[in-house]
Amino acid sequence: MNWLAGQSSASNRCGSGHPAFDVKRKRWRCQTEAMDGNDGRKTKTSEWTFLTNHTHVLICVVDAPESRMRDIADKVGITERAVQRILGELEEAGYVQRVRTGRRNRYKVRKSLPLRHPIEKHRRVSALLELILDPPW
């Protein structure tokens, strides 16, 4: 099953949370209701994830190497500018290689590199991708 399948609407991405459109950022964000311990009122809190936007962009690139930044931004839920910055950082660190094909870019991920943080550096990018994506990738 494709990781990106069914990710087009905010209600699918939010799971049990409630989608809300952030007008300022022009994107959907997830909200969950939580009880406030002081007066019992429900308050809105944003939903968090275990993986960073860098990981989400990397997964999108592996899943669809010819994706446009706009498409990646929509799937991850961030701006095109943020995708551009993240891809630049991944490319500078050697995790992503950009190949120009006409007017488009095609990205290749170097899956054999180790993860960056000291806690996880004993694992390779390929191990992270195996957790999320169904092979082949």
Between the CA of residue 42 and those of 20, 31, 35, 36, 94, what are the distances in Å? 16, 12, 5, 6, 45
The average pLDDT across 48-63 equals 94
Whether 7 has a pLDDT exceeding 70, the answer reads: no
Domain 53-132, CATH = 1.10.10.10
A 10 A CB-CB count for 56 gives 20
Residue ranges of domains in the chain: 10-46, 53-132
* Least confident residue range of 5-9, 16-20, 97-101: 5-9
